[in-house]
Structure 1
Amino acid sequence: MTAGWVHHLIIAPVVLPLAAGAFMLLFDERRRALKATISLVSAILLLGIAITLMSLADASAPGASVYLLGNWPAPFGIVLVLDRLSALMLVLTGILAIASLVFAMARWQRMGPHFHTIFQLLLMGLNGAFLTGDLFNLFVFFEVLLASSYGLVLHGSGPLRVKAGLHYIAFNLAASALFLIGVSLLYGVTGTLNMADLAQRIPSVAPEDRMLLEAGAAILGIAFLVKAGMWPLSFWLPPAYAAAAAPVAAIFAILSKVGIYILLRLSLLFFGVEAGASSGFGSDWLLLGGMATIAFGLIGVLASQAMGRLAGYSVLVSSGTLLAAIGIGNTAITGGALFYLVSSTLTISAFFLLVELVERGQDTAAAVLAVTMEAYGDEYEDAVDEEVGLAIPATLAILGACFVVCGILLTGLPPFSGFVAKFLLVASIFNPTGLGASAEISPTDWILVALIILSGLSALIAMTRTGIRTFWASLEGKVPRVLVIEVLPVAGLLLLCLLLAIQAGPAMRYMEAAAQSLHAPQNYIKSVLAAPRAGGGGGESR
């Protein structure tokens, strides 16, 4: 629908970080200030481009904007497809990238070689995964972001980081192998890897081949469920995220959402109401798996003594909630789930950054002593007496305020976006609307609502306990040295959560429109398969 230079911006989120990452390799590693400047400028430009593309996607609705690479028509050539959902994920990626890079400029960029180049390649993989319109290039971008994440998860070295990083690499390599197997089976049955073309061919698959088709889809789904962190495939995630460097963990908050995005996209595109005998395939497993993941995550939150692991298990609670919402599969809950996705990702990213600042002023022996006191009573009361009467420094006051806001967001209390997101989810479960809606509230729905409420209660208990032990009953008087450049990203992400709550109406209208487009995939299919070549139509998508 849109001609001219704006249409060519669709490829920019892939090309720009690739060019920036390659360009930085030309400079000596000791020129960190120059590399940091290039990387940050690239991230800022990416966010500006993503916001522009969001406006383009909104204007192109109900269809999608299609970019034909090499000017080959679909399904024969490579296509990039922009709709409301992919544009939303691009904006979210840009925001987290800027926050992580600003935080890393304080000291983390010096902890290992080629940090900024690897970071830019990660952004390239993320943006490509959100934009691609075929499974082959989804695998390519998936591998680019995974290979980059391997380097980032080990950034800074240290035995704990290396151990957790090796587990992370092993699990994700297994997921990559499953990805290839699943894609091969789908191609063997349908003869295509273009997503729109696959969606068009699935209803007409012969009955004798349908089992093979669903087996391939199930194997492909497991690969994405590993990335999303669904129980019991999630044991690697909390240790790896907790051990990663703070800016790395902050951008990793969106990596689990890559699996969520692909599952949401493909489940409605391939197995929606028009998929014939395979309609609704896997939805019950997503619902049950999501609820199991919430239960596992909230238990982990309650059991966590270290803030890093608390944040890691909060990722599982977020993923489980989104997986269950995908499993229910009506339009209303999909819109609420998208709002929750944005809110929870911003919150967890800010929390990972905050954890490093807070724990910088603590030592391991004091942390162990605090847990011992909590378990065995007041035997060590004299150790705290010497801190009585100390004034709370401004640094601790600022960190404490940010910690409280993170706790409110994770718990789902007003006035921040966490409350709005959980309210929308619960309301959509009890009042379903749109495609896939059922007038009857099942026992499974009640269990899911109970788990959502219990996850908030567990976050409240864990954050209150951790906050008291860290800020009110700290055993050491050391005040962490925190720079303004480190506090700004945390405060910025939390302010965005507040802004999301204030602008919940316009934001939710966008989410609902995106959900309606996802549940009506025929517009997506038509836009991709009918996209004209540049010589005949100026490269426009209709």
Structure 2
Amino acid sequence: MSHLAFLPFLIPFAAAGVLLLSGRSIAVVRAVAAAAVLAGLVSAVALVAAVSGGEILVYRLGNWEAPFGIVFVADRLAAMMVLLLFVLAVPALLAAMRGTDARGLHFHALFQLQLAGIAGAFLTGDLFNLFVCFEILLIASYALLLHAGGLEQTRAGLTYVALNLVGSSLFLVGLGLLYGTMGTLNLADLAFELARVPPSDVPLVRVALMGIVLVFLLKAAVLPMAFWLPHAYAAASVPVAALFAILTKVGVVALLRLVAVALPDSAVGAELIRPWLPALALLTVAFGTLSALAARRLMGVAASLVLVSSGTLLFAVADGGAAATAAILYYLPHTTLVTAGLFLLAGAVAAARGEVGDRLVRGPALAGALPLGIAFAVLSLAVSGMPPLSGFLGKLMLLQGAGGGWQAAWWTVLLVSGLVTALVLARIASLFFWEPKEAPAGPAAAISLPLVLLVLASPALTLAAPAVAGFAGAAASQLNARIPYMVAVMGAGPDVPREQRP
């Protein structure tokens, strides 16, 4: 059964190779891509079922034992994130098949590589393999961002590529310092070894870990490393932007696992992030909210709300408690699917408004606007945290479970951000659906199947709240327990011969 921990990475990775060799028949390419995503979804469901009882699956490539071999590890957290990835991939792929994929070569191969990199990042058990998965997903995202693009995409892509190249370089430096000092990059092995670092090595190990933490925060787009995200996501094609909604969560989950598994009970990990990350997280929420207020397009508003969700999640990561972690794991699927839905909604509105597109200005009336108006209302209620949808439940869990010494600031920022977001979305609804306008300029507004699926995500998470919150709580408890994860990967923590640095 351990192979289930590897299949969500293997399926899209193999599919990318097949797609590169399948010629230029769009029908064949789409069939292969759809089959791969459905197979990935089935493997993710099977993985969740396999670990739901608390089991931790470890797949050792080539049967090489940790810490020297590459391991893929599936616990409840990893399985949940992989399932979320493929649930998101289904509407994103369906949206791309409506025409975006035909605007350039190799879209579907890049799409599958993106899925493989993200799935591998959630499942990998060592930091170097995490770096490899980051590079896979980043290379694919560079090309997807520029796919069939123009000047705006090129400008956004240059900034996105430059920043991530700096991040990759910093990651390699941090990994080199950590391996040179500790002799291992396996996360479970580090959890054993960091507890017995000689005092003379503590400063160097802290520098290495801080470099790695900064890379995770860059991926999560925390302030001051957040300025690239609204422009880049708003410039992407609609299906790509929808898939990108999960990219910042890769950094959040990587940091969460590092903080929960490797850093506790060690002098190296003591106060490494908690004195300063809550402040940066709250500033990120504030910046994302102001960015949404200043946005000139609905795509820009959706991209800014990705920043709000990143700051919200990172504050709870810094809190580190079991209740905060459980709240993260309920709120994270909600915010990923709802912001992806906003990207698809922006595309539908732009198609119906003609030359005006999704710009926040008065324009022609939307013919047959009722379905889009209902979709907009559901997504707006969900993303702003209004009752009774999943956004309200997730924020309530976060308000109750996180805060610590930052309780007053936490409540103030989160509640004000929700209020401002609701006002921004109400203004957009007025511009798009309520104010009298000219006669319709484009075809009747149509609500597509991919958009319907994402609109239904929040009501579904609301109805399934007891089950989802229960699984999130169990995943948080398993993550914070640490020892079962460490023993599953490393056994009882045997002494492994290590080379010592000069």
TM-score (norm 1): 0.87
Q: 1:44 to 1:208 in 2, by over 3 A?
A: same
1:55 pairs, out of 49, 55, 71, with: 49
Contact 1:93-1:123 within 8 A present in 2 as well = yes
Cα shift readout 1:100-136 (whole Å, capped 9, x = no counterpart):
1101111101111100000001111111111110111
Q: Distance in 2 between matches of 1:479 and 1:331?
A: 53
Instruction: State whether structure 2 residue 381 is matched by structure 1 residue 422.
Output: no
Q: Structure 2 vs 1, CA of residues 282 and 115 (structure 1 numbering), >3 Å: closer, same or farther?
A: same
- Secondary structure of 1:234's counterpart equals coil
Shift of 1:505: 0.7
Equivalent of 2:28 in 24, 34, 41: 34
Q: 1:482 to 1:121 in 2, by over 3 A?
A: farther
CA distance in 1, matches of 2:445, 2:143: 26
The one-letter amino acid paired with 1:10 is A
Q: Residue 424 of structure 1: SS of its match in structure 2?
A: helix
Q: 1:345 aligns with which of 336, 342, 349?
A: 336
Matched, 1:331 2:329: no
Q: Partner residue of 1:196?
A: 188
What's the counterpart of residue 393 of structure 1? 367
**Counterpart in the other structure of 1:493:** 454
Q: CA deviation at 1:166?
A: 1.3
Q: Residues of 2 paired with 1:366 and 1:506: CA distance?
A: 40
Q: Deviations over 1:124-163 (max 9, x none)?
A: 1111111110111111111000000001000121111111
Structure with larger RCO (C-alpha < 8 A, sep 6+): 1
Helix, strand or coil at the partner of 2:413: helix
User: Which SS does the other structure have where 1:360 is aligned?
Assistant: helix
Distance in 1, Cα, partners of 2:169 & 2:440: 48
Which one of 464, 468, 483 corresponds to residue 522 of structure 1? 483
Count of residue pairs the alignment pairs up: 493
Offset at residue 448 of structure 1 (A): 0.9
CA gap of 1:187–1:366, structure 2 versus 1, over 3 A, is: closer
The separation in 1 between residues aligned to 2:357 and 2:123, in whole angstroms, is: 47
1:189 Cα deviation from its structure 2 partner: 1.4
Residues 232 and 49 (structure 1), Cα distance of their counterparts in 2 relative to 1, 3 Å cut: same
Q: TM-score, normalised by structure 2?
A: 0.94
Which of 269, 291, 311 aligns to 1:320? It is: 311
Deviation at 1:82, TM superposition (A): 0.3
CA contact (8 A) 1:106 1:483 kept: no
- The Cα of 1:365 is off from its aligned counterpart by 5.9
Q: Tell me how far apart the structure 2 counterparts of residues 139 and 366 of structure 1 sit (CA, whole Å).
A: 38
2:188–2:486 CA contact under 8 A, matched in 1:
yes
Residues 10 and 67, structure 1, Cα contact 8 Å, conserved in 2? yes
Q: Could you tell me whether the CA contact under 8 Å between 1:366 and 1:475 is conserved in 2?
A: no
Q: CA deviation at 1:369?
A: 9.2
Give SS of 1:259's match.
helix
CA-CA distance at 1:9 after TM superposition: 2.2
User: How far, CA to CA, are the matches of 2:298 and 2:150 in structure 1?
Assistant: 19
Partner of 2:496: none
What's the secondary structure of 1:49's corresponding residue? helix
Distance 1:43 1:482, change over 3 A: farther
Aligned-partner residue type, residue 401 of structure 2: S
- CA, structure 1 residues 187+481, in 2 after alignment: closer, same or farther (shift >3 Å)? farther
Match of 1:19 among 14, 27, 31: 14
Whether the 8 Å contact between 1:283 and 1:326 is mirrored in structure 2 is: no
Counterpart of 2:244 (choices 240, 249, 252) is 252
In angstroms, what is the RMSD of aligned CA positions?
2.0
Query: Structure 1: how far apart are the matches of 2:85 and 2:209?
Result: 27
Q: Distance in 2 between matches of 1:214 and 1:487?
A: 50
57 and 344 in structure 1: CA distance in 2 versus 1, 3 angstrom threshold: same
Q: In structure 2, what is the equivalent of residue 129 of structure 1?
A: 121
Q: Give the one of 434, 459, 478 matched to 2:421.
A: 459
Aligned to 2:279: 288
Deviation sequence 1:414-461 (CA, Å, 0-9, x none): 22111110111112237xxxxxxxxxx53x211011111111111101
> Is 1:69–1:78's contact at 8 Å kept on the other side of the alignment?
yes
Decide which moves more: 7-16 or 69-78: 7-16
With 354-363 and 400-409 compared, the bigger mean Cα shift is at 354-363
How far, CA to CA, are the matches of 1:108 and 1:454 in structure 2?
Answer: 37
2:353 is the counterpart of 1:362: yes
SS of the aligned residue for 2:402 comes to helix
Residues 81 and 122 of structure 2 are in contact (CA less than 8 Å); yes or no, is this contact kept in structure 1?
yes
Matched, 1:303 2:276: no
Larger radius of gyration: 1
Q: Structure 1: how far apart are the matches of 2:75 and 2:86?
A: 17
User: Which AA in structure 1 matches 2:52?
Assistant: D
**SS state at 1:405 partner:** helix
Per the alignment, residue 73 of structure 1 pairs with 65
Query: What residue in structure 1 maps to residue 497 of structure 2?
Result: none
- Fraction of identical pairs, as percent: 39
Q: 1:15 is paired with a residue of what secondary structure?
A: helix
Matches of 1:488 and 1:169, distance apart in 2: 32
Aligned partner of 2:407 in structure 1 is 445
Tell me what 1:3 maps to: none
Cα distance in structure 2, aligned partners of 1:524 and 1:266: 12
Q: Distance in 2 between matches of 1:513 and 1:479?
A: 52
1:7-45 per-position Cα deviation (integer Å, ceiling 9, x unaligned)? 32221111111111111122222x112111111111111
The 1:207/1:480 distance shift into structure 2, 3 A limit, reads farther
Q: 1:365 to 1:224 in 2, by over 3 A?
A: same
Q: CA offset at residue 216 of structure 1?
A: 0.7
Structure 1 distance, partners of 2:357, 2:7, is 49
Structure 1 partner of 2:500: none
**Match 2:37 to one of 19, 34, 43:** 43
Match of 1:407 in 2: 380
Cα deviations by residue, 1:236-274 (Å, 9 ceiling, x for unpaired): 1000000100000000000010000100000111212x2
CA–CA distance in structure 2, aligned partners of residues 368 and 459 of structure 1 = 17
8 Å Cα contact 1:66-1:531 kept in structure 2? no
Structure 2 equivalent of residue 168 of structure 1: 160
The residue identity in structure 2 corresponding to 1:258 is V
Which SS does the other structure have where 1:519 is aligned?
helix
CA distance in 1 between counterparts of 2:327 and 2:357 reads 42
In 2, Cα distance between the equivalents of 1:476 and 1:93?
Answer: 41
Query: Could you tell me how far 1:472 is from its partner in structure 2?
Result: 2.0
What is the deviation of 1:483? 8.7
Q: Distance in 2 between matches of 1:336 and 1:451?
A: 17
Q: Which amino acid aligns with 1:242?
A: A
